[in-house]
Amino acid sequence: MIRRFLRDFPCASSRLASASIAGIMAVCAAGAHAQAAEQWPTRPVTTIVAFSAGGTTDILAREIGNSLSKIWGQSVVVENKPGASGNIGSQIAINAPPDGYTILVNSIGPIAVNPALYKKMKFNPQKDLKPIVLVADVPNVLVVHPNSGIKTLPELVAAMKARPNTYNCASTGVGTAAHLSCATFAAQAGVEVTHIPYKGADALVDLLGDRVQFMFATIPSVMGHIRAGSLVPIAVSTKQRSPSLPDVATVQESGYPDFELGAWFGYFAPKDTPDAIVRKINKDINTVLNEPAIRQKLSGEGAQPMGGTPEQFASYVRDETIKWKKIVDGLGLSLD
């Protein structure tokens, strides 16, 4: 019957032959990508960090990169490309060849916040980047200089109300979780705060120098300074207290029950990177995140190791983008 059909309808025969050839080519391409993934990497891998050295994104990239270099037998080179609230580093990664040799470690800001914040984004994170894996969920902690004498959030609010328009809040950039935490807190507390954005971890320099009054910082980026006594933690931003700072109250406990903001970090690849390579990177990063030493180190620094599949991370990014657009629009924030 099939032979008769093909004989009577030669055009159908042609279409079936074309479909068969296309199918064979697709199978061959998939096989070639799988084989390439097995051999990958054969040279050093560059990890772009969209913020300056010393911040949480940088810390995570270097910790995980050290372990990946042992698995891959190749160097993992971290390149810091700060600027434009993470947009510069993101664009560099997007423009890189989609071969797995340039990947991006990024945070909530450039991926989920900036699309709502910037009117003229030059890229779309959900279209131009391929999610690989969510690596960590990290609370922010509100820290002040010890010279302030402030020990609790109510004390900070009282000081700001007593001296209006004199308190500056540093952040790691416009649109970052640090910035939005500051803006949300100021709105809920009914205080006037001047926001001063920096390029990534440079914000800590002025906070440590007592030139700005407070900052919402990711716990890993300031834990060393807290232990040394050069910064005082007065509240954490998440609903539950952080296991790494169990004696520090949450913002909710301190009188603001609607406050709950944090940060997350993950790996991405240029959009056309073969799925087989993305899955290999995903598998290897999950292996690293399950190493007891890595889990203990990240947890001790205030970061909760995550992991999962690329699909799970892609779904999470979509949900977070919707969530943060509502927050940005509610605060009335907008940039050209």
**Residue 28: pLDDT above 90?**
no
What is the CATH number assigned to the segment(s) 42-137+262-331?
3.40.190.150
User: pLDDT value at position 3?
Assistant: 45
> Are the folds of 42-137+262-331 and 139-236 the same?
yes
Cα separation, 164 vs 167, whole angstroms? 7
**Residue 35: pLDDT above 50?**
yes
The 10s digit of each residue's pLDDT in 271-312 is 999 999 999 999 999 999 999 999 998 988 888 999 999 999
Interacting residues of 310 by C-beta distance below 8 A, sequence separation 6+: 130, 131, 132, 133, 278, 279, 282
Q: DSSP label at 201?
A: T
| Reported pTM | 0.81
Q: Beta-carbon neighbour count of residue 1 at 10 Å?
A: 5
Domain with residues 139-236, CATH architecture: 3-Layer(aba) Sandwich (3.40)
Interacting residues of 162 by C-beta distance below 8 A, sequence separation 6+: none
The 10s digit of each residue's pLDDT in 41-56 is 999 999 999 998 988 8
Q: Is the dihedral of CA 196, 113, 333, 139 positive or negative?
A: negative
User: pLDDT value at position 4?
Assistant: 46
**Residue 12: pLDDT above 60?**
no
Q: DSSP label at 249?
A: P
The burial of 50, by beta-carbon neighbours within 10 Å (0-12 exposed, 13-18 middle, 19 or more buried), is given as: buried
What's the count of helices (H) and strands (E) in the chain, helices before strands?
14, 10
Q: DSSP label at 208?
A: H
Q: What angle do CA 11, 15, 21 make, to 5 degrees?
A: 140
The torsion defined by the Cα of 87, 88, 94 and 100, in degrees rounded to 10, comes to: -110
Q: Where are the domains of the chain?
A: 42-137+262-331, 139-236
User: pLDDT value at position 177?
Assistant: 83
**39-53, 145-159, 186-200, 262-276: lowest mean pLDDT where?**
186-200
User: pLDDT value at position 331?
Assistant: 87
| Site of tokens 């037998």 | 73
